Amino acid sequence: MTFHARVTVTLKTGVLDPQGKAIEGALRGLGFAGIGGVRQGKMFEVALESADKAAAEAELRRACEALLANTVIEDYAIAFVDTVA
């Protein structure tokens, strides 16, 4: 069956994120006074064929480790989303 997943890749805690800092500053400049911190990440929408959800998740984990994330500085999270009919 076809699974649809969202893979989110974010910088690990403690890794400097100058882009996030610049965005945070711009939001403050626009008057969003309550903004306490911004971290920029990446999101991938992936469709894949797999026998079941567990197999799909295992496949996505391999994809994250092999390419989608650089685990020296990044963490990843996998979430399945409902297929749009």
Q: Give the interface segment with another protein, choosing from 18-26, 29-37, 49-57, 77-85 (CB under 8 A).
A: 18-26
Residue 38 is a binding residue for another protein (CB under 8 A): no
C-alpha–C-alpha distance, residues 38 and 62, integer Å: 28
Among 5, 56, 60, 68, binds another protein (CB under 8 A): 68
Measured from the Cβ of residue 65, the count of other Cβ atoms closer than 10 Å reads 11
Nearest of 41, 58, 42 to residue 3 by alpha carbon:
58
Q: Is 11 helix (H, G, I), strand (E, B) or coil?
A: strand
Window of 29-37, 49-57, 60-68, 76-84 that interacts with another protein by CB under 8 A: 60-68
Distance in Å, CB of 18 to another protein, minimum: 5
Instruction: Give the one residue of 22, 26, 77, 81 binding another protein; rule: CB under 8 A.
Output: 22
Question: Which pairing describes strands 2-11 and 42-49: parallel, antiparallel, or unpaired?
Answer: antiparallel
